[in-house]
Chains A and B, each alone.
Chain A
Amino acid sequence: MVFINGFLRSWMAWVLPRPRLILGMTLLTVIASLWAAFALLQIQTDQLELISTKHPLIALQDELEPFNFNGKTTFALVVRGPSQDRSIEFMRELAYRVQNEPRYFQDIFYRIDPDKFKKWVLYYLDKEELEKIKRKIEDHSDMVQKLAENPDLLVFFKLVNQEMASRMVGEFFTGFLDESDDQNVPADDQEKMDLGFMIKVLNGISQYLDGTHQYVSPWSSFFNSSAWDLEKEGYIWEGKKKFLVAAVMPKKIKEGVSKTQTSLSELRRIIRDLQAGSFSDVQAGVTGQEALNNDEMHTAMKDMTKATWLSLAGVLLIMIIFFRGLRHPLIITISLAVGLCWTFGWTAIFIGHLNILSIVFAPLLSGLGVDYAIHWFARFEEERDKTNAGRVAVISRVMSTSGPGIFLAGLGTAFSFLPFILTGFRGLMELGMITGMGILLTLFADFTVLPALSYYLAQERPVLRRTGVGYGVRQDLLRLSRTGVRVVLACALLLIIAGSFGASMVRFDLNPLRLQSENAEAVYWEKLLVENSEHSLLSAAAFASSPEQALAASRKLKSLPSVSDVATVFGLLPDHQEEKIPVLRSILASVPELDQSNHRLGEGPTYASTSNLIDPEARTLYQKELSDTLERISFKMQEDQADKWGASKPLVEQMAKVKLLIGKINQSLQTRPESLKDLQDYRRRFKDDIVDKWNLLKESCSAPPMRIEDIPSELKDQFLREDQYLIRIYPKESIWEEGALSRFVTDVRKVEPNAVGDPVSLFVFSSAFKKASVAASIYALMAITILLTLTFKSVKLTLVSLIPLVAGTVWTVGIMGATGFDFNLANSIFMPLVVGAGVEYGVIILHRWKEGRVGYGRLPFSTGKGVILAALTTTIGFGALMISHHRGIFSLGFVAWAGSICVLASAIFILPAILSGMEAPMPVIEEGDEGYVKE
């Protein structure tokens, strides 16, 4: 302490004669710092790098990167439309626009080209489904045969009408033959009537006649399988086909919060444009880790800017109230602002970036760093009020009396952050370095800028107090009687017990999604996907160097209790291909060759389906025959009588729909001359579609089983690259719960010790962060204890100075339990923050007590005022964090805010009570005391 005292005297002796030089130098360094911050400081969003750039997991994770779109950063685009068709339309339009914006996007992956799978499409159906297709073709063999001879729209309707009539006559007169004699046994398994296929075709014609020339293949309805509609195949669906997803690869541009921020904004602009246009019924959003990181940093940056200004304004306001004037608060604020600017400059030069943890340093420094100047001015006013001495004398007096205590408190706070470096957790190390160095720089400003400014601006004359207290009159903030001391100690003990009980309810919540702003778009869509997806969106991953190894590992992993599914490249192949071959070949045998010529005649000379598409007369004849056939079909749709005969409700509804569509089509054909051309357009598309489906059926039924090398590369590359097989492992339980994550990762690592992937990263990250937070608290406490022991040269005084910290911490965690706050990835660092504040108050009070003349159970007014004011400013600094929409930062603000209040209460009540039980030190008579009023 003597050394510090001597050092400060020498320092002041140098500073006070040179205020202009000091202020000039300060101005230059502030400008340089701000320039460095704007030019060099970046924002880092990579969470894994928060652990360490040298963490072995990062190297393993790098191996995984090529399997995820060649290591490109991706946004997850999610679309939810009123129907799958609308979602697909939206996705196609959006993909088109993204592909036309090469400035912002590298690529978009939204569909696997179905043509590459076309050959094996039927292999992907179950054997039962294939049997159904076979039966369907056999049941409609006559229709299939005739359609093969002349694949025309009119032929199709004629065949449908004929089949309908045959079936109806048969059902009416001989249907009883299919009924069982036993009333309890259902009729023969005859296929129920379904008009869905015909409705699809009629709907397609109707839309064409309305001018909407968008052909939709009806064949999926015929076979009751979407596999037939290749237009709809190849898309990536989630949540029972409610969500259509795509991966958008952004260009990295050095603008905004991160390199992908501009692309993200552009993607969201495109979505909004589409929604404002013809897609108002479609919802869409962007999520995925990159978007989540961007949104998180964007929210955090915005909130931090607000919180910093709010914190500064709040601190200034409190000081104006306490100091009853603007001059001293202004000097304090300038000194603090200088410290902040230096810290920004130092961070830009020596670290180069801020991360999600270190981004909170500015408001923290505003709260913590301002304390020293407050203590300084509190003492300044006390010393000034005692005497008529000039500014320089008072400044020197303050420096010699309170200077060492303030200096020590500042060092103590800095030492509560600097030991973060020892945790090895990069995010915390950087936070520790930035905030610790920030405290030191602020302290340095308080011992240079503050006295220099005070030299010119500090209030020389005391402000007349309303209490009428004049010069040299002793004031106390707190006077405890012996009973009061006992009451304070008893209450403190009771609160510690209650706090311990509350603390037992506090858990550790790992879910990073719960830290982020609920309103953030990326969070909203991520949660929707998590809640609606069949399995977890996140998977662990392991590598194998051969098919045998991959299959063996896959089997072992599948058997783990915490694993729901395992995906490998082999899973991309259809199941049980060999078993399906005989069914496929028998379907092939029952499908006749298709006659694709345009001039084949049907039945009779008026069979207009043979007409070409150009001859107007032929077109008119075709239209007449079609109308005639449709009317005959319509006649059979007597839905008003259907329910009398027990027809099912869906069938009755279908009949009404058929009738309605036929009426609409025929009216259009009769009243709109241009509809003839539209009809021919549809007719051509319908024929092309039949040819496509026929070829698909033939090709797929005759194809050999699919092999690994047949899988399209864009899909295969996600599982197999350069003879390295990737195994994706999906958890059974939600990995956002700590227990489930731990079980899953532990299980997987037993089989695959080098497993990687998001769950593993999250587990490692959260475990490392938890450990680092605990370690940081312990290191901070140890560093402070060593510092205090060296300073006080007394274990007893050291322990006493730590009492506010210990009691305040227990109360704070108790409050967390009572208010339902858990420890999370953001607020786990509250402890070191409270350590700084707690030790500061203890040291200031203890240092004043050591000066002597304090008296039993008393807390001198100037000391108490300084501590309260410092605590209030700290509280505002932490409290400002509570304006954040980022719930992690909010929780940190709340916990640290509550912590600083608890530590303050503990310091101003418990410490005087405990010190009253200790032997009071002799008053220290120092040089310069002679000019002051003696008590």
Chain B
Amino acid sequence: MLKSRYCFFLSIVLFLAFCVGIGSQARAQSGPTNTVKAVLDKAMDIQTRSELEGPEHRKERATQIRKLIADNFASSEMARESLGDYWEKLSAGQRQQYQDVFTGLFQDSYTRMVLNFLGREKVEYPGESADGKNKKVQTIIMRTNEHIPVDYVLEPKGSKWLIRDVFIDGVSIVDTYRNSLGSFIRAKGYDALIGKMKTQKKAGEES
């Protein structure tokens, strides 16, 4: 189970970040900013569509959101980067196993977050910048008397742009994974980590 204390702070922000990434209609010819915008609109549409509102449609919304995550996030890249140098020490089998577990865990977190916190938000797009072949799209979530910057790093994948990292108020999700998982492996080893992740993933699936 995720620790409950801080999840709500981040959930809205991450949801919005997620929204930017999951638009299956976002095409490379639209550019990274348009991709982010399309995904965000799509995600808000799922959450606010009248026929899907209410707790009785929660499962249906969850299925659609989970599919969008799978379609628009570069999960395998994120999984590789989340282990940092330790990735090189894993066998091919271990890598595949880790990618599966990581992707499932990541998607569970996002799905739950979207279901709980998505609303109709005003988003500003101040601009985008290049980082090698990747692009960084800047957004600001605007609310009355408060806002938060969320930056998205997208990479081209064929004809699509896929999200491979999100910076919440300057904090990278991938970096956060890398630091925490690295510390855990150093303290308890890889096997303990994969065990823990499996347990967490199972708990997420059951809930």
Contact = CB atoms under 8 A, between A and B. Distances in A.
Given A173-B176, A176-B200, A177-B184, A635 B148 contact: yes
Contact of A635 (B141, B193, B200): B141
Given A170-B180, A173-B173, A192-B5, A635 B10 contact: no
B176 A170 contact: yes
Contacts of A641: 8, 11-12, 116-117
Interface string B170-183: 11010011011100
A193 to B, nearest CB: 6
Interface in B168-207: 168-171, 173, 176-177, 179-181, 184, 193, 196, 199-200
B8 A177 contact: no
B149 A632 contact: yes
B176 A166 contact: yes
A635 B184 CA distance: 30
Contacts of A187: 3
B8 A175 contact: no
B11 A634 contact: no
A1 interface: no
Contact of B181 (A161, A174, A192): A174
Contacts of A637: 9
A668 to B, nearest CB: 12
Interface residues on A, range: 35 or more
Contacts of A350: none
A454 B108 CA distance: 117
A174 B169 contact: no
A166 B2 contact: no
Interface string A400-430: 0000000000000000000000000000000
Given A176-B200, A632-B146, A169 B7 contact: no
Nearest to B145: A663
B9 A168 contact: yes
Given A632-B147, A632-B149, A176 B168 contact: no
Contacts of A388: none
A666 to B, nearest CB: 6
A165 interface: yes
B154 interface: no
Max chain B Cβ within 10 angstroms of own Cβ: one of A637, A642, A659, A666: A642
A453 to B, nearest CB: 95
Given A172-B7, A174-B180, A647-B8, A636 B148 contact: yes
A273 interface: no
B143 interface: yes
Contact of A175 (B3, B9, B116, B141): B3
Nearest to A667: B145
A179 B109 contact: no
Interface in A162-188: 162, 164-179, 181, 187
B139 to A, nearest CB: 13
Contact of B8 (A176, A632, A645, A659): A645
A646 B4 contact: yes
Interface residues on B, range: 35 or more
B199 A174 contact: no
B176 A631 contact: no
A193 B6 CA distance: 9
Max chain B Cβ within 10 angstroms of own Cβ: one of A161, A170, A646: A170
Interface in A629-674: 631-632, 634-638, 641-642, 644-648, 651, 659, 662-663, 666
Contacts of B184: 177
Interface string B133-161: 00000000101011111000000000000
A169 B169 CA distance: 10
Contacts of B168: 165, 168-169
Nearest to B174: A173
B177 A173 contact: yes
A168 B148 CA distance: 14
Nearest to B187: A177
A634 B146 contact: yes
B14 interface: yes
Contacts of A644: 8, 116
A174 B197 CA distance: 10
A193 B5 contact: yes
Contact of A171 (B2, B141, B173): B2
Contact of B196 (A166, A176, A634, A659): A176
Max chain B Cβ within 10 angstroms of own Cβ: one of A162, A178, A181, A635: A635
Chain B interface helix/strand/loop/mixed: helix
Interface in B77-105: none
Max chain A Cβ within 10 angstroms of own Cβ: one of B109, B117, B146: B146
B130 interface: no
Contacts of A178: 3
A635 B13 CA distance: 9
A392 B23 CA distance: 134
Interface in A138-166: 161-162, 164-166
Given A177-B196, A181-B199, A647-B8, A169 B146 contact: no
Contacts of B10: 168-169, 171-172, 636
A171 B169 contact: no
A923 B177 CA distance: 126
Given A176-B196, A177-B196, A168 B6 contact: yes
A925 B188 CA distance: 126
Given A635-B147, A636-B148, A165 B4 contact: no
Contacts of B180: 170, 173-174, 177
Contact of A179 (B1, B11, B147): B1
Contact of B2 (A172, A193, A663): A172
A634 B12 contact: no
Contacts of B5: 171, 192-193, 645-648, 651
Nearest to A161: B169
Given A177-B180, A177-B196, A171 B170 contact: no
Contacts of A171: 2-3, 5-7, 10
B145 A647 contact: no
A391 to B, nearest CB: 105
A187 B10 CA distance: 20
Max chain B Cβ within 10 angstroms of own Cβ: one of A174, A178, A648, A662: A174
Interface string B4-35: 11111111111000000000000000000000
Nearest to B181: A174
Given A179-B3, A632-B146, A162 B169 contact: yes
B12 A176 contact: no
A573 B128 CA distance: 63
Contacts of B106: 173
A263 to B, nearest CB: 56
B98 to A, nearest CB: 15
Interface in A185-223: 187, 192-193
Interface in A79-106: none
Nearest to B169: A165
Contacts of B199: 181
A613 to B, nearest CB: 27
A594 to B, nearest CB: 25
Which 9 residue pairs of A and B lie closest in terms of their CB atoms, listed nearest first? A175-B3, A174-B180, A171-B6, A165-B169, A646-B4, A634-B146, A635-B146, A635-B148, A168-B6
20 contacts: A162-B170, A165-B168, A166-B176, A173-B106, A173-B109, A173-B173, A173-B180, A176-B1, A631-B147, A632-B146, A632-B148, A634-B145, A635-B13, A636-B169, A638-B12, A645-B4, A646-B5, A647-B5, A648-B5, A662-B146
Interface of A: 161-162, 164-179, 181, 187, 192-193, 631-632, 634-638, 641-642, 644-648, 651, 659, 662-663, 666
Given A172-B10, A636-B10, 14 more contacts: A162-B170, A164-B9, A169-B10, A170-B179, A172-B6, A172-B14, A172-B109, A173-B177, A173-B180, A635-B13, A635-B143, A635-B146, A635-B148, A641-B117
Interface of B: 1-14, 106, 109, 113, 116-117, 141, 143, 145-149, 168-171, 173, 176-177, 179-181, 184, 193, 196, 199-200
